[in-house]
Amino acid sequence: MATAVFMVLMVCGYWYTTRDISTRFKLKRTFGWDVYFLVALYGCIFVLQGVLAIAIVYMLLWGVSSVINHLPQIHALSQNVYYHRDFINWSFLGIQAPVVIMLCVSVMLCLFRTTWSPGLRLNTAGRKQLYKQLTSANGVEGILYQCMEQGDMVYITLSSHRVYIGMVHTARCETSSTDNVVVIPMISGYRDRQTQQLRVEHNYAAHYLENWITPVSEPNNALNFRKVILINQIESLSLFDPATACGFEKLASIREQPMEQTASGDRTLLL
């Protein structure tokens, strides 16, 4: 009996966690023994609901038995009845029937919850809201989701000092070795190892404009230039605004001018 309860508990927990959208995200971000505890947690919820259903039936039968035994008209015509005791002692194939009913109720509730789950019937706006809530606790996922939702550009620096600036097409963040982000590049280059300044190698944006390449153009489109970057290869990630970047570049050039003038004045005095 205990084995049957444990099996139903784990099966219901696994069935629910692999089919509910929000719970599936949690499961994919869980490792080791935490996976078993998460599955067991949701399985316990369904089993407890089955126990609650049996308790409700027991209380109803107890109430009916009490009413029958205390009504003079009914009590005088028959012996005392104890429907609640008969229900608890009832057996089915050598197993107590309440346990079988409890397990059946748990399985039916699990199937009902996964079949009619609100997450399975979400429209596009509902799914976006769900993904926004799920990614709000993770900085990387939050930035990637913002870029996909609002169309912002992302600035990605890899551990190899390669740099990609572009639009986020898709992202897969399930905490596995194959997690990746697909970027449609606008600019690519590398960071100088000494000065850490960006050295541009390829200007994809200019190439797109010159050849009239868009995400839906034929025969070539922007998706043909997409880059798949593994999440574990990313060293830093941030939003990129061209206007802000140009402002920072101008500010840096202004700060360098007085230093150059001072250096030229010192050389004049030495001469």
Please report, for the chain, the start and end positions of each structural domain, with discontinuous segments joined by +. Answer: 2-121, 130-242
220-240 residue pLDDT tens:
888 889 999 988 888 888 888
Q: Does domain 130-242 have CATH number 1.10.1740.10?
A: no
Range of lowest pLDDT (83-87, 150-154, 183-187, 204-208)? 83-87
CB half-sphere exposure, 6, CA atoms < 13 A? 5
Task: Give the model's pLDDT for residue 192.
Answer: 82
Q: Which residue has the higher pLDDT, 186 or 125?
A: 186
Say yes or no to pLDDT of 49 above 60. Answer: yes
Dihedral of alpha carbons 173, 179, 183, 187, sign: positive
75-89 residue pLDDT tens:
555 566 777 777 777
Task: Give the model's pLDDT for residue 268.
Answer: 33
Say yes or no to pLDDT of 93 above 80. Answer: no
Confidence band of 260 (pLDDT split at 50, 70, 90) = very low
Longest CA span, the chain: 130
**pTM for the full predicted model:** 0.57
Q: Tell me the CA distances in angstroms from 44 to 33, 57, 115, one per residue in order.
A: 16, 20, 19
Please, are residues 145 and 135 in contact by the beta-carbon 8 Å criterion? yes
Say yes or no to pLDDT of 165 above 80. Answer: yes
Say yes or no to pLDDT of 24 above 50. Answer: yes
